[in-house]
Chains A and B, each alone.
Chain A
């Protein structure tokens, strides 16, 4: 009897969760599809975003993402390699870097926005621009990316490192030819996580990359990200809901595509590792 009540309770839990999540998802897809057409992807917004499309906004979003990744990827990969391959286990620098990365991973994104506004926009004089927005995003995704890469590198079995040493390879060669390829799926997964986080971000961009919805002429121009566009349309523009849902559909599709990619890569990584073992 108690067993039956318990499983009934669990079943209704799951049912409630599935139905409410499906409600959100179906609303976004259905409402978005009503307003969506291919023109919408390329046209410039008009009438404060109620009509027209999201062409310049998509371009700004991609620029922000590109700047953030160009800065965060090499830096993050370098730090991850040092932490897992070069740092001695009792190194003060390594442990304090690790701790501050963990702390920064939990900092709310609006606080990154405050920092970006004070440092990039005002102190460095970049103003409200794609550059200061992208750099703020880079700071935000750096901790996550470093940690994912580091875990991937550490998961490579030590036999491979010893094997490389036995073959007389230098450390640099071992890292480049053996460890990085072996950790590649984790690196790609970290990359895609970062892309997802940066693409979905709104709060950190409000006061760094700004609101301007024109096509950006240079990296020092202000540009509106897709997530900021959705926020603006739904909060400040009456009658902008249709366009907001269509933009949400585009954003969600973009992120789902990237997430599926990450999932597939992680799965195939585990399969590969099982084969080796």
Chain B
């Protein structure tokens, strides 16, 4: 490896290696601490198996020893799914518009706007949702702070990410594909829907995954507009509480098993995000195989 290795190089290698070890250790430490803080919760309930109530019970009264997180897990999933299914068509549509239809000057302005909004902190979206969107929904369907408000705020938050990553993966499709489909005399919408979009699928997928993980892990923006009542998400206008918001709301005073259960929900969130990225990785693999095989 080191064809002209000398003392300085070996020292540098040693120094960098120790930095890598520190980093790897830090990463291990994060997992270790989450596990060890959540452990009492599982250990106290492992013998009779009641720790499983986390997943199926609906009563969240941590001070009385009832730790049912099912409503919050479902609310987290509902808010994320709602936000992604709202933002995906809009983001993809505007990416296609940006890439193939918009005149250069307005495309530039659009791109600038998306870049600016991709960098806006989530707490600002939360503030906007709380002071603009929630009163608007209240005047239509009280109480206002609801699943719908959370979905809209999150969708606005992840829209720029989805639009920008989709636009850049559309731009990286080889020009030959477009000219080839033009030469075949395909209509514009057929070219885009059946030639360009499938070719850009991998990039779009990873952008959507990034946005989904962000939506699932978002805390403050959802907390500020969702109303935070622990209940199953039964309607768009019902207030809900998501897992992340629950941690932020109760961490300040949680003790003992209550605190441990919050760490357990943190682990659960992390696990959900990992599953999501593993799934997306597999989907991409299968897609690639199909493209190569077909």
Contact = CB atoms under 8 A, between A and B. Distances in A.
Contacts of B34: 111, 114-115, 118
A180 B262 CA distance: 43
Interface string A143-187: 000100000000000000000010010111001000000000000
Contact of B98 (A14, A106, A112, A201): A14
Contact of A10 (B1, B96, B224): B96
Which of B30, B110, B188, B274 is the most central at the interface, judged by chain A CB atoms within 10 Å of its CB? Answer: B30
B43 interface: no
A175 B11 CA distance: 14
A110 B125 contact: no
B90 interface: yes
B89 A114 contact: no
Interface residues of B, number: 85
A137 to B, nearest CB: 13
Given A14-B93, A103-B274, A203 B244 contact: yes
A108 B244 contact: yes
Secondary structure class of chain B's binding surface, majority of residues: helix
A211 B13 CA distance: 42
Contacts of A112: 30
Secondary structure class of chain A's binding surface, majority of residues: helix
A37 to B, nearest CB: 20
Given A18-B113, A106-B273, A108-B273, A78 B127 contact: no
A231 B228 CA distance: 15
B118 to A, nearest CB: 8
B189 A106 contact: no
B20 interface: yes
Contacts of A215: none
Contacts of B89: 13
A83 B90 CA distance: 38
Nearest to B157: A24
Interface string B1-26: 11111101100110111011011101
B188 A17 contact: no
Interface in A189-237: 196, 199-203, 206-207, 227, 230-231, 234-235
Contacts of A119: 29, 33
B119 A202 contact: no
Contacts of B269: 108, 110-111
Interface in B24-78: 24, 26-30, 33-34, 37
A44 to B, nearest CB: 21
Given A82-B20, A200-B122, A202-B220, A110 B90 contact: no
B121 A252 contact: yes
Given A14-B93, A20-B156, A251-B121, A78 B19 contact: yes
A16 interface: yes
Interface in B222-279: 223-224, 244, 247-248, 251-252, 262-263, 266, 269-270, 273-274, 276-277
Interface string A65-101: 0000000001100110111001010000100110011
Interface string A10-27: 110110111011111101
B187 A231 contact: no
A27 B133 CA distance: 11
Contact of B248 (A86, A103, A107, A206): A206
Q: How large is the interface on A (under 10, 10 to 19, 20 to 34, 35 or more residues)?
A: 35 or more
A138 B220 CA distance: 20
Interface string B98-120: 10011000000010011111011
A256 interface: yes
Given A3-B189, A13-B97, A230-B121, 14 more contacts: A2-B189, A6-B192, A17-B159, A79-B16, A97-B20, A102-B277, A106-B273, A112-B30, A171-B5, A175-B12, A235-B224, A245-B127, A245-B131, A255-B119
30 contacts: A2-B187, A10-B94, A10-B97, A11-B101, A17-B91, A18-B113, A28-B124, A78-B19, A79-B23, A82-B17, A82-B20, A93-B20, A101-B27, A103-B274, A107-B273, A108-B270, A123-B33, A142-B26, A165-B4, A172-B8, A200-B122, A202-B123, A231-B123, A231-B224, A234-B224, A245-B131, A248-B121, A251-B121, A251-B124, A252-B121
Interface of B: 1-6, 8-9, 12-13, 15-17, 19-20, 22-24, 26-30, 33-34, 37, 89-91, 93-94, 96-98, 101-102, 110, 113-117, 119-128, 130-132, 156, 159-160, 163, 187-189, 192, 213, 216-220, 223-224, 244, 247-248, 251-252, 262-263, 266, 269-270, 273-274, 276-277
